[in-house]
Amino acid sequence: MKISEKNKDFFQSVFEVVKLIPEGRVTSYGAIAKCLGAPRSSRMVGWAMNASHSAKEPIPAHRVVNRNGLLTGKMHFSDPNEMQTRLEAEGHEIKNDQIQSFREVFWDPNTELEL
């Protein structure tokens, strides 16, 4: 699959935001999408994460979960278990593929980054 130049920029923006996520913090697709000015394109953010594998730079996609704190995209990683393991390594508590105290570790680029 090929990515148009136009969308590549969108992907790049997503990657930058994701890379800006502080360690021990997580965010949601919608938050990122909103930060990019496309609050309705949360799905595209997730799609961008899928493309993160093609990115030359390491994208901490494991810090990006849905607004429920659920690791919906863990299966898209090289090793699904790796996502949870990595999150736990950063001090998160995962239960049933869901981040406990998600609200405490949530990092909103719009607020924290104060765009």
Partner DNA sequence: ACAATGACTGAAT
Partner DNA sequence: AATTCAGCCATTG
Residues of this chain that bind DNA (CB under 7 A): 1-4, 7, 28-31, 38, 40-47, 49-50, 52-53, 61-62, 64, 66-68, 72-73, 76-77
Cβ atoms 105, 24 nearer than 8 A = yes
Least Å from the CB of residue 41 to DNA: 4
Q: Which residue lies nearer to DNA by CB, 13 or 50?
A: 50
Tally of CA atoms within 13 A in the half-sphere of 9 that contains its CB: 4
Least Å from the CB of residue 114 to DNA: 19
Q: Which residue lies nearer to DNA by CB, 42 or 91?
A: 42
Q: Which residue lies nearer to DNA by CB, 30 or 109?
A: 30
Instruction: List CB contacts of 87: < 8 A, sequence separation 6 or more.
Output: 26, 62, 63, 71, 94, 99
Cβ atoms 60, 27 nearer than 8 A = no
Least Å from the CB of residue 67 to DNA: 3
Kindly provide the residue ranges of all beta strands, DSSP E only, lying in the chain, ordered along the sequence: 27-28, 64-65, 93-95, 98-100
Least Å from the CB of residue 22 to DNA: 18
